[in-house]
Amino acid sequence: MSLTRDFTPYDSRRTASGHVSSGAPVRRSFPKSWGAEHVGENSVLFRLWAPDIERLRLRIAGRNREMLPAGQGWFTLTVEGVEPGTPYQFVMPDGKAFADPASRAQDGGVDGHSMIVDPAFYRWNMPAWKGHAWEEAVIYEMHIGTFTSEGTFRAAASRLADLADLGFTVIQLMPVSEFPGDRGWGYDSALPYAPHHAYGSPDDMKAFVDAAHRVGLSVMLDVVYNHFGPAGNLIVSNIPSFFDPQFITPWGPSINFAQPAVRAFFIENALYWLEEFNLDGLRIDAVDEILDETSEKHILVELAERVHSETTGRRRHLVMEDHRAILRNPERGGTPDAFVAGWNNDAYHAAHVIATGEAVGHAGPFAAQPVAKLAACLAHGGMPSQDDDEQDARSDADAGGSSPLTSYIHFLQNHDHVGNRAHGERLISLSEPGLLDVMTSMLLLSPQVPMMFMGEEYGEVQPFAFFAEYEGDIAMTTWANRLIEAEKFGGLPEGVTEPWQLDNPNAPEAFEKSKLRWERRDTAEGSAAYGKIRDLIGKRREHVVPGLSGMPHSVGRVLASAPETIAIDWQLSDRLVQLRANLSASEVEAPGISGFVIHRVPETVVADGTGPLVMPATSLLAAISRHRIFEYSSER
């Protein structure tokens, strides 16, 4: 049995630049319950949980073999003489063949054959890599398909050194698992264990992670555990017991996490990415729609416990899309939280209203007093907010201040908030340059963990659209949904009332126009933006990060100041960080500062340390004092 043309093992001794690595390479693999696992040299055990049928066959290298019932809905079969690259599928009693739900690689996509992969073939070249402490995190969100013109892991790896040079410490990949077609965001996955065929082989992805570690970058992966996509979903039609029709999500019946086999499928998926691909962490999407109402322990709690207990010897970080308190460790006692951080949409929405004047859709509840709301988020992390759809009061993050500020991930842009807009405009096309400079400075010099969306570092103006490759009714539904999403993210352009007035997300042009135009980085505007980001991240690393270790949970205080002005003092472990920002179009007075100024926008802003500051329109000062100014109680 030979390797197919589309599946080529990667020479793992070579880095992205083509240089043979030195050191002592190691091999990594994770034995999972589902799918194909090597149990000896060229001996492979195939396992599938399919309790709704009485007979299952394995089609391997063109031959059907009867699988054996193993109890509790499992079917197994061990096959000898199986080489890497061998194609296989499972076959239902009616003769319908389908891919392995836990396939490590696909020959041509979700409708093709699954491929046997030797996970230990790749030799890792950075065995001593331990990752970054969380307080060092400066996150760069990346979509592999549009990060480079080639849209592959190998091409992306060639640009990692530049991101490390800028000061980023964490790459957060948008989902990379197999989805239908050659283009998509990745959140409608069909095969959660297989890297997408258009991006490269599993070994190409491992080489990307290896290259990142070589230049000092951690790599986290966005994973989706609440649904499968509307197309190519082989589990829905072949394993009905995988779902629980009692509970409904926006994507259909909930996944049945009460079933041990289903639970193992997802928990092992997390461990698989972390162990077999040597990743430094995971970001779990839409955790509020991971419904596990009948289990004694919520699946995310169990997942986090297993990650922390089974991936020892290095730092592994789990991030979620929101801050549900039930997923936080109530007794810290010096041990890490189950989830180290979550995205803070409150801070984003307030910042977006300030930067653009748009207060529609999800940002609607922030129309009143956005500056005060942003100040509260920056000082304390969270704030009481409104549910995006129902307007019911809730606590989004942790308004009580019981969590460290580094458990909040702040951002001015991400894939959702850019790509779900009617035309995919980036913030640079919506905000005044001076105001954007102030907002970016606040993002990178505040204690919260900052995240930037790819291209933001050099002022990319190319839009980032929603794109997919669906056909038929699903394609039309996807197009129609663009109208609904656009209303939530920035609103509809004047005169737009029908979906076909917006670009077709299934057209190749939607994907192509979303690719970064790296030539802009070399223009005067791009070079200037690039230099500003390098400078800000450097100042964060030198002046803010050292105070984040051992930081108390409640550290921020909002000072009385003029309207449209933010004045915050953060007492970190050994220093006071002071931020003064005038977000208005008029000169205002702001509380004075002590210590020394580390950053100012524009450069002409003056601080003499003798009293209140006179802040010109759209300006910012950040300062550091190396002595403790005040103590905090739990009251504010």
- 321 counts as catalytic: yes
Closest CA to 137 of 221, 217, 223, 222: 217
- Identify the burial level of 246 via C-beta atoms within 10 angstroms of its C-beta, where 0-12 means exposed, 13-18 middle and 19 or more buried: exposed
Contacts of 488 (CB under 8 A, 6+ apart): 361, 362, 388, 420
Lookup result for tokens 């580390």: 598
Rounded Cα distance between 343 and 187, Å, is 17
Selecting among 178, 203, 210, 285, the annotated active-site residue is 285
Rounded Cα distance between 602 and 616, Å, is 9
Phi, psi at 69, each rounded to 5° = -65, 135
Rounded Cα distance between 384 and 495, Å, is 35
**Structure tokens belonging to residue 93:** 């009693």
β-pair type (317-320, 393-395): unpaired
Closest CA to 409 of 505, 510, 339: 339
**How far is CA 261 from each of CA 35, 199, 365, 604, rounded to the nearest angstrom?**
12, 29, 42, 63
**Structure tokens belonging to residue 290:** 């991971």
Rounded Cα distance between 131 and 343, Å, is 21
Rounded Cα distance between 201 and 211, Å, is 15
Contacts of 214 (CB under 8 A, 6+ apart): 15, 21, 125, 126
What torsion, rounded to 10 degrees, do the Cα atoms 557, 322, 402, 549 define?
-80
Spatial contact of 162 and 518, defined as CB atoms under 8 Å apart = no
Contacts of 343 (CB under 8 A, 6+ apart): 319, 320, 321, 322, 409, 411, 414, 451
**Structure tokens belonging to residue 541:** 């690393």
Residue 421 identity (one-letter amino acid)? R
Around Cβ 298, how many Cβ atoms within 10 Å? Answer: 18
Cα 607 to the chain's mean position, in Å? 39
Spatial contact of 79 and 108, defined as CB atoms under 8 Å apart = no
Rounded Cα distance between 161 and 296, Å, is 45
Selecting among 37, 203, 321, 456, the annotated active-site residue is 321
Rounded Cα distance between 420 and 484, Å, is 9
Q: Would you please indicate which residues are annotated as catalytic (active-site) residues?
A: 285, 321
